[in-house]
Amino acid sequence: MLRRVGLAKRVLTTNRHYSTRFGYAHSRCLVFSDFGQPEKVLKWVASPPLCMNPIEGVYPEKPEFTLELGTGGKSAVPGNEGLVEIVSCGSKVNPSIRPGQWAIMSGPNFGTWRTYAQAREANLIMIPDKEGISPVQAATISVNPSTAYRMLNDFAGLEPGDYFVQNAANSGVGRSAIQIGRLWGLKSINIVRDRPGIQKLKEELRSLGGTEVITEAEAKDRRSMAKMTGGQPVKLALNCVGGESATNLARILGQNGHLVTYGAMSKLPFSVPASALIFKNIHCHGFWISAWSKGNEAVKSQMIIDILGWIRDGKFRDIPYEITKWSEATGLETLMEPVKRGISEYSGRKGIFLMEDD
């Protein structure tokens, strides 16, 4: 699964007044009217008005299908995440918000796969200073880096020098966790699946700040794991995979450790050994950034400022990504290309739509 990130060039911030300098905003968007395989349900509309999971309908929080997009039947625009540029504000909008400023979405289901949108202030988090930040960096901050930040900060009371362990360490969230961990003085054990060229991947993740990078098979060797940490307990485990990999994380955790599940890439359930629960007092949690974001708006804004600061100071590296340019002339075929690729294979790169003027 590959999440697509929409990068809307423009957004309007109120429903009171939304004309641009041309008198109106003409938006092109991808829409869907039913949940299902993205390549089957996505349609192309040009009217006033890349995570695949919301389109597949597998997230509990679903977008609302509406007639407001001017489509024949009810439909919704996909795209949870992205960066927008303000083009126009209504008279009642906070005067500190001005055209030219950047903003990201405050919650899920904004519908970023479109060239223009109309939004309320509450739907956006303003980027206070875009100096030194690329549009792609800002567009990809609110899910993966934010998830990693919260999981490292909120569950195990980690202190500098403490160990955490994670599987799928080469994922977007995993790469963020490695870097935030390094910035906070944490030591990380990073587990990845074996592959041709594994040494190159190991070196890359170490260069981000990973203390140890090992394969799933190496992570099962209890003796070498204990040697690796010098007997220090591992206090937190981040589980993106499930199945056997997650069970092994529970085994690696030390006394009173915390296992936080945020993904299920293998689509397999997992078991936690009774001994880990009874004798080691392991705590199991789930984390979902969308649910956390509700009611934590102020904390989220501060977290975004922290992450932007690291990016600006060159302390936080981009995730690997590939861009599909989207202008007025772009056809459905071109836009569906990365969507189809994202479903059939994991390329190791995030797909990003970049809206451009013709």
Ligand X SMILES: NC(=O)c1ccc[n+]([C@@H]2O[C@H](COP(=O)([O-])OP(=O)(O)OC[C@H]3O[C@@H](n4cnc5c(N)ncnc54)[C@H](OP(=O)(O)O)[C@@H]3O)[C@@H](O)[C@H]2O)c1
Which amino acids are annotated catalytic?
59
User: Which residues in the 234-253 window bind ligand X by CB under 6 A?
Assistant: 240-241
Q: Are strands 124-126 and 102-105 parallel, antiparallel or unpaired?
A: antiparallel
Between CA 148 and CA 345, with CA 50 as vertex, the angle to 5 degrees is: 90
Q: Spell out, one character per residue from 258 to 277, where the chain touches ligand X: x when CB under 6 A holds, - when not.
A: ----xx-xx-----------
Stretch that binds ligand X, among 26-34, 182-190, 223-231, 257-265 (CB under 6 A): 257-265
Instruction: Assess 153 for contact with ligand X (CB under 6 A).
Output: no
User: Which residues in the 75-94 window bind ligand X by CB under 6 A?
Assistant: none
Instruction: Assess 296 for contact with ligand X (CB under 6 A).
Output: no
Instruction: Assess 29 for contact with ligand X (CB under 6 A).
Output: no
Q: Spell out, one character per residue from 185 to 204, where the chain touches ligand X: x when CB under 6 A holds, - when not.
A: --------x-----------
Instruction: Assess 170 for contact with ligand X (CB under 6 A).
Output: yes
Measured distance CA(156)–CA(257) in Å, rounded: 7
Smallest separation (angstroms) from ligand X to the CB of 144: 5
Helix ranges (H only) for 86-170 are 135-139, 144-154
Stretch that binds ligand X, among 32-40, 72-80, 141-149, 226-234 (CB under 6 A): 141-149
Tell me, letter by letter, the H, E, C secondary structure of 65-81.
Answer: CECCCCCCCCEECCCCC
Smallest separation (angstroms) from ligand X to the CB of 133: 20
The CA R_g of the chain, rounded to the nearest whole Å, is 21
Instruction: Assess 59 for contact with ligand X (CB under 6 A).
Output: no
Give the DSSP H or E segment for 326.
strand 321-326
Give how far Cα 297 sits from Cα of 104, 150, 288, Å: 12, 13, 15
Measured distance CA(143)–CA(2) in Å, rounded: 13
Measured distance CA(277)–CA(143) in Å, rounded: 30
Residues that bind ligand X (CB under 6 A): 2-3, 143-144, 147, 168, 170-173, 193, 240-241, 262-263, 265-266, 287-289, 346
